[in-house]
Structure 1
Amino acid sequence: MSNDDDVPSEYPYAWSSSSQLPLDEFLTKYKPSMVQDDGTKPWLWVRKCAADAEDSDMVAAVEEATELLEDVTTRVEEIKNDDSIPLRANKKKGTKSKKELRESVQSEATEKLKEISIRNGFVSGKWLIFAPTDKVDLVWSTIANSLISGPLASTSAHLTKVATCPKHEVPNYSHVLCLYIPNVYDKEDVTEIMKVLLRKHGMNLMGVKSNLYTAIGLDSKHPSGIPSTVWKNSALMPEPEIKKLREEYFAELSAAKTNDADKTAVTAKATTGIVTKSKPKLKRKAEDDDPFASDDESKDAKPTPKEKTKSSGATTSKKAAPKAKKSAAKDDFGSDDESAEDNDEQARKAEVAAKKATSKGKPAKRLKEDDEEDEDVEERPKRKHARK
């Protein structure tokens, strides 16, 4: 018969300080929500150290406890089926109810089980924690890390395990997690571990169970009705204090998250500020320089023929008329009639040139009309000179 906290030899789903994998890698590789029990891997284990050797006679303790459990189960069943025992107590007659008689037998059995455990030195046990599949990975990694290098490392807890997924799907399945302690009847030690679990990890605890109880098959559904835990939470600490410790943990966790969020926001703001300052430089460079041209090419760049045409066209359209006027004024040898005609001709040419400069984008029909008009303008002065 093996103890409840005996890790199977050469079991691949167990971690200890001698393991080749670091703990973080082990927890990442083997997650309780992902490992399915096929009959060979019901648990994942993490061991801090080997438990102190118990000077115990586990076999004798189990045999004696098993006989007691059978006897109590029989007595409880007899009370249920005894019609002479009333359902309700009668203080005047001094009779007890069925429930009171059952609880009395069960309480007496609990004390006897404790005496058997202590007498035989079989007092080890565990804190029980339950977690749904969607949260079990976080709970498991929290407890495992804490046991090896966190708050639980300084306590007497030495081993933890968690149930893997069942072979067949079970609705609303909860994984049980066990944190092993050397002596479940050491109330002070058990309470110290409880405070760490509440204040440092915000755990929802389900009580402390003896390994002897596990060995004899005593669970919450056993027909004997004996409580399946040695300690209930309220027997170790008042409920208000339990609630306060958990609330302090979650308040601290919330503050830490808020602080991290603030730091992230400040970092993001600072990073954004740096990027914002650098953007105008990039923008100006994109506008002024060709990113594919060398510095020499940028310096020697010359306007294209198209750009020259646009430039000369724009200059002609703006300054052609004044130039024609000045040219006419400098002709001192022309007659008044010729000067007037030349002036008219010069003005018409300037007008034609201006129209040509602004004709880009006009419809083809309009351009053609402008060209015909220009030809008429060019021909009229020539005919007039011919007659003279």
Structure 2
Amino acid sequence: MECDAPSQTPDQQQPYNPYQNLPGARQTNEPICHFLQRLPPAQAASTNPPHLLPPWYWIANPNRSAYPAGRAENGDVNSLARDGLALLHEFKQNVAQCARNDPLRTQLREVLIGEIGAVAKRWGVTSGKWMLFPRVDDVNEVWRTVCEGVDANRLGTGAKVSTLGQEGDPVRLICVYTKDFTDVEDVRRVLLALVDMGLVRADMPRGITYKCDAYTYLDIYAKNEYGLKASVYGSKEMLAGS
């Protein structure tokens, strides 16, 4: 298959690529079609020895302007974990003093959510992602669309696709990253771009969800002991609000 070289916009004259030389990542100035031919996610397990198969294939937005304040790093994760865990510990202590049906529990939880957001901003750990779950039969095409959107600066800072699912799992996970989970307008912008690309529909029964990386670093998953929702946003609610 023939394909064109990457387009060069003023912001792309010196493309940024934090995944350069990373196995399973698109390389600087590698045409999208070459990247997809070299690493098709649906065929990952059949074309790589298990011990050499990376868990994810990655693509970065080459535009530096896509990253917060020119910063593309992950921020100070250790400081986030220290301060975030302290907040969670304090929350547990406060909740333990409340009766089971005390409305103060809900208030404390809302305060906690805001405090975690503030700590994430303070230490620059603001990335988050919309999560897509295409079937294996569809993942190559969905991943192609996402990669083209990332490269064209229509989406966020980058994306990744899982190379393996659980045994017998017919789907793969694609994460589409944004620069700041507290920037609701930018999160919505990326969601609307996914809708425009045909990857998300407003009438999807369950929609898709958005999770911030700060929660991941703090081990806040579904059914956590703090009663927090693992996802920060849902497409159905956000699109209804639009």
Verify the 8 A CA contact 2:208 2:236 in the aligned structure 1.
no
Verify the 8 A CA contact 1:133 1:175 in the aligned structure 2.
yes
Letter in 2 for 1:172: D
TM-score (norm 2): 0.72
Structure 2 residue aligned with 1:278: none
Structure 1 residue aligned with 2:61: 48
Q: For residues 224 and 174 of structure 1, do their structure 2 counterparts lie closer, same or farther at Cα, with a shift above 3 Å needed?
A: farther
Q: State the 1:206 CA deviation.
A: 2.1
Q: Give matches, 1:182-331, under 5 Å.
A: 182-203=179-200, 206-238=208-240
State yes or no: 1:32 paired with 2:41.
Answer: yes
Q: State the 1:137 CA deviation.
A: 1.8
Q: Give matches, 1:108-123, under 5 Å.
A: 108-123=111-126
Q: How many residues matched? A: 211
Q: SS where residue 15 of structure 1 aligns?
A: coil
Q: Which runs of 5+ in 1 are unaligned?
A: 1-5, 86-95, 242-388
Q: Residues 152-208 of structure 1, C-alpha deviation per residue, up to 9 Å, x if partnerless?
A: x245x1211011114xx5233532211111111111222111111112223265222
Q: SS where residue 222 of structure 1 aligns?
A: coil
Q: Distance in 2 between matches of 1:220 and 1:39?
A: 30
Q: State the 1:106 CA deviation.
A: 3.2
Q: State the 1:71 CA deviation.
A: 4.7
Percent identity over the alignment is: 20
Letter in 1 for 2:39: Y
Q: Residues 86-109 of structure 1, C-alpha deviation per residue, up to 9 Å, x if partnerless?
A: xxxxxxxxxx36xx6654443332
Letter in 2 for 1:162: V
Q: Residues 212-254 of structure 1, C-alpha deviation per residue, up to 9 Å, x if partnerless?
A: 1122222224333311222222443317x6xxxxxxxxxxxxx
TM-score (norm 1): 0.47
Q: State the 1:39 CA deviation.
A: 7.3
Aligned to 2:171, which of 166, 174, 185? 174
Q: SS where residue 131 of structure 2 aligns?
A: strand
Structure 2 residue aligned with 1:61: 80
Larger CA Rg, structure 1 vs 2? 1
Q: For residues 135 and 186 of structure 1, do their structure 2 counterparts lie closer, same or farther at Cα, with a shift above 3 Å needed?
A: same
State yes or no: 1:16 paired with 2:18.
Answer: no
Q: For residues 222 and 9 of structure 1, do their structure 2 counterparts lie closer, same or farther at Cα, with a shift above 3 Å needed?
A: farther
Verify the 8 A CA contact 1:209 1:228 in the aligned structure 2.
yes
Q: For residues 25 and 8 of structure 1, do their structure 2 counterparts lie closer, same or farther at Cα, with a shift above 3 Å needed?
A: closer
Q: Distance in 2 between matches of 1:46 and 1:54?
A: 13
Q: State the 1:133 CA deviation.
A: 2.0
Q: State the 1:14 CA deviation.
A: 0.2
Q: Residues 121-170 of structure 1, C-alpha deviation per residue, up to 9 Å, x if partnerless?
A: 32222222222222222211111122224xxx245x1211011114xx52
Q: Distance in 2 between matches of 1:208 and 1:143?
A: 16
Q: Distance in 2 between matches of 1:193 and 1:127?
A: 9
Q: Distance in 2 between matches of 1:230 and 1:131?
A: 21
Verify the 8 A CA contact 1:61 1:122 in the aligned structure 2.
yes
Q: Distance in 2 between matches of 1:65 and 1:39?
A: 35
**Which has the larger share of helix?**
1
Q: For residues 194 and 64 of structure 1, do their structure 2 counterparts lie closer, same or farther at Cα, with a shift above 3 Å needed?
A: same
